[in-house]
Structure 1
Amino acid sequence: MHQLIAAPFLERHVLVRPGSRGGALLPEPRYNELRALDPGEPAPPWLAGAITAQWPDLDVAHQLLGEFLLVRRPSPWGYGKASWEVNLGCNYKCKHCYLGLKMNSGMPWEDKRRCLDIMAEAGVVFLQITGGEPTIDKDFLRAYRYAWGLGMMITVSTNGSLLWKENLLRLFRECPPYRVTVSMYGAAKASYDELTRRDGAWDQFVQGMNAARHARLPLRMSIVVTDDNGHEEQAMVDLCTSWDVEYEVFTNMTPTIYGGGEVLTAQSKEHLRLRKTFTGCNAGHTFFHMDPHGLVSICKIGRDDQISLPHEGIQGLARLGAIADRLMLRTGGCSGCGIAGTCRVCRPLAKHYQEAKAPLEAYCQHGEKKAG
């Protein structure tokens, strides 16, 4: 079982370690040298030195390469990152959830495995497994382990309610994740259970966080601020600080992936914040998203013109860049806008807001001016 991964990543080559946030850049000749070496050979001195410099607790000087290192093959496709909704089902019914309907449906295991193989072939090094709640999926354990075995650095996005389960903790001990991102919906039982619409959700969250912290998982909190818990924003921040866990605060609600506006009622108007100017992204070019049925889109928001990975295989990804470029064009209510160059949301997200008939100030500078 590997402890380190050497892989092409975008236009560079990296040396990374599952469970560790750090890494090292590899000059291309060094990466090619590692590809050419036999797994039964000892680690070259330069590699052992680089590993000790980056990870002092890891001594490979007397180990064979195949005992600790997985060398990923180069890919002509150039996709370094991907996200995967393993399931839309969830054990919560959060008022603000952008996924809308919660359906426990997806692909059979063989199709999931094939899609993961295709992701690896496409060059994906960093994979986010999300949902719904991914840990309730019947195939989560083996899907995670299989992706990990392919040499992916995995982030799990979860509500944390099941992180106390021994089978999950064992999996993360044996196959360390790159990160476990936990959504936080309140700082007290009343607000947390109200937002998630599940009695006992707070208790399970605390149980999961206690177990995750004890296991020293690489945690990051996503603090979600809504109308129900807005008064607890600072308390949520303070709780993360007391746990010594990094966090990010999210205050702006978005419509569902179907363009529904029903979740926008969870928005705390007092906490609605101006987004930074959208300056473009690599969605569809170096990153893609896959839903539970193997349908690939440029990202979680821009789901038009999806590609079926199980049916089309890796060749289907050849169309993704053109789809991304088309979806980013200003159309509909945004065509001809004189200040589109300083818009704060991408075109696919603006389209969702328009379909949801959301207040203009929620996503557009024109609305901000009127509101002011």
Structure 2
Amino acid sequence: MTYQLIASPYPDGHLVVSPGREGGIKLGVNKYAELRDAAFADPVPDWLAVAAHALWGVDVAGKAAGDTIRVRPDTPYGYARASYELNLGCNYDCEHCYLGEKLFAGMEWPDRERLLDIMAKAGVLWLQLTGGEPLIDPLFAETLAYAHDLGMMIQISSNGSRLHQQKTLDLLRTYRPYRLTLSLYGATEESYDGMTRSRGAFKRFTRGLEAAHEAGLKMRINIVVNRHNAHERDEMTAIADRFGIPSFEYTNITPTIHGTGEVLPSQANEVLRRHEPYTGCNAGITHFHSDPHGMASICKVGREAQVNLLEEGVEGLRKLAVIGDRLTTRHGGCSGCTLQKSCGTCMPLANLYRQAQAPLETYCQHGSSGPLSAKGGES
């Protein structure tokens, strides 16, 4: 069943959101209880009808609450967000890909359904479906529909190669994501096809972008910069601007999730960027990541310790806060580094760079200020 509004617990309160739309309406305890306790045939409260129309232009005045609002139960776990890799397989072979070898290995439907149920019990409201390339996953449609029916707001990360297909567009019109995030790998066929190592990829992306724009899907473009396309940065930004789509530029190539460095030579050194100082995050506390087999980690990068959600259920997520504290705390050479307060690399990512024997300048403040100290002052 498709709902126009979702009322959900959220850390430190409750929210009303609308599938396929951005933004939310904060609720107090009493307002949430009013929606939770409403009879199926009761009309949507006037205060909510007015707020929904003002924020989203959604007309729910006089409609039955049971047909219009999906009220999600309170939860003791407090997870607002999660990301889920449906399958690590991909129809591209990008040399920069942080996944390394991309194998088609996802769960069958009963286990996927159980995983999504666990996420819902944990309180997950915003769910990122990713891969690999999620749109080529054989169970993508079922996964999207079920997550939508559970009252989750969906973001899909895709290379856009399937968006021109009518069945894909029809699916996304029915179960609208609040955001479709597309990776852009070049402004010309030569650079785009070269970077993805897939002939015709640029044409497929362009067709998909135009089709998704015509369908009114909310999008963001991630501009991925490497040695093949660094000279086209302005032209790639212009593609997003032409459609009125916000864009974000990714310039730093990271090691694979396995800590291997075969992807690092694709880095365009002239665009290597220092990040804002890392001051900690809520990885494992308010959000988590699941790989294609239901193994939960604090995030996509910090996979050193995982929890098998299919075996341990939602209670297993309680382990992630302790895991997060251990993985994100500065240790080893970084623990005594005098530059750590200005370092923009989190500890799990720094560990991957170390395993990959990456050049210091790609992740460490000492890379531009001289060799490591005798104590190994890596940041």
Report the residue type matching 1:202 in the other structure.
Answer: F
Q: In the aligned structure 2, how far is the partner of 1:51 from the partner of 1:199?
A: 45
Q: In the aligned structure 2, how far is the partner of 1:299 from the partner of 1:71?
A: 28
Q: In the aligned structure 1, how far is the partner of 2:178 from the partner of 2:23?
A: 10
For 2:40, the equivalent position in structure 1 comes to 39
CA offset at residue 286 of structure 1? Answer: 0.4
1:29 aligns with 2:30: yes
For 1:101, the equivalent position in structure 2 comes to 101
For 2:293, the equivalent position in structure 1 comes to 293
Q: In the aligned structure 2, how far is the partner of 1:267 from the partner of 1:39?
A: 56
* TM-score computed with the length of structure 2 as normaliser: 0.96
1:195 aligns with 2:195: yes
CA offset at residue 21 of structure 1? Answer: 1.1
Secondary structure of the 1:284 match is: coil
Report the residue type matching 2:48 in the other structure.
Answer: L
For 2:375, the equivalent position in structure 1 comes to none
CA offset at residue 159 of structure 1? Answer: 0.1
Report the residue type matching 2:289 in the other structure.
Answer: H
CA offset at residue 23 of structure 1? Answer: 1.9
Secondary structure of the 2:132 match is: coil
4+ residue runs of structure 1 moved beyond 4 angstroms? none
Report the residue type matching 1:28 in the other structure.
Answer: V
Deviation by residue 1:174-225 (Cα, 9 ceiling, x = unmatched): 1111100000000000000000001111111111111111111101000001
Deviation by residue 1:138-165 (Cα, 9 ceiling, x = unmatched): 1100001000000000000000000111
**Stretch deviating more after TM superposition (311-320 or 78-87):** 311-320
1:67 aligns with 2:51: no
* TM-score computed with the length of structure 1 as normaliser: 0.98
Report the residue type matching 1:337 in the other structure.
Answer: C
For 1:7, the equivalent position in structure 2 comes to 8
Unaligned runs of 5+ in 1: none
1:140 aligns with 2:140: yes
Q: In the aligned structure 2, how far is the partner of 1:182 from the partner of 1:52?
A: 29
Q: In the aligned structure 2, how far is the partner of 1:134 from the partner of 1:44?
A: 38
Q: In the aligned structure 2, how far is the partner of 1:220 from the partner of 1:55?
A: 19
For 2:374, the equivalent position in structure 1 comes to none
Deviation by residue 1:49-86 (Cα, 9 ceiling, x = unmatched): 22222223x22122100121101111100000000000
Secondary structure of the 2:73 match is: coil
Secondary structure of the 1:220 match is: strand
For 1:281, the equivalent position in structure 2 comes to 281
**Stretch deviating more after TM superposition (289-298 or 203-212):** 203-212
Q: In the aligned structure 2, how far is the partner of 1:110 from the partner of 1:305?
A: 25
Report the residue type matching 2:152 in the other structure.
Answer: M
Report the residue type matching 1:323 in the other structure.
Answer: I
Q: In the aligned structure 1, how far is the partner of 2:67 from the partner of 2:301?
A: 41
CA offset at residue 335 of structure 1? Answer: 3.0
Q: In the aligned structure 2, how far is the partner of 1:264 from the partner of 1:32?
A: 52
Unaligned runs of 5+ in 2: 372-379
The correspondence of residues 132-281 of structure 1 with structure 2, limited to 5 A, is: 132-281=132-281
Q: In the aligned structure 1, how far is the partner of 2:150 from the partner of 2:354?
A: 40
For 2:50, the equivalent position in structure 1 comes to 49
Report the residue type matching 1:6 in the other structure.
Answer: A
CA offset at residue 338 of structure 1? Answer: 2.2
Q: How many residues matched?
A: 370
Q: In the aligned structure 1, how far is the partner of 2:207 from the partner of 2:170?
A: 16
Report the residue type matching 1:358 in the other structure.
Answer: A
Q: In the aligned structure 2, how far is the partner of 1:171 from the partner of 1:39?
A: 28
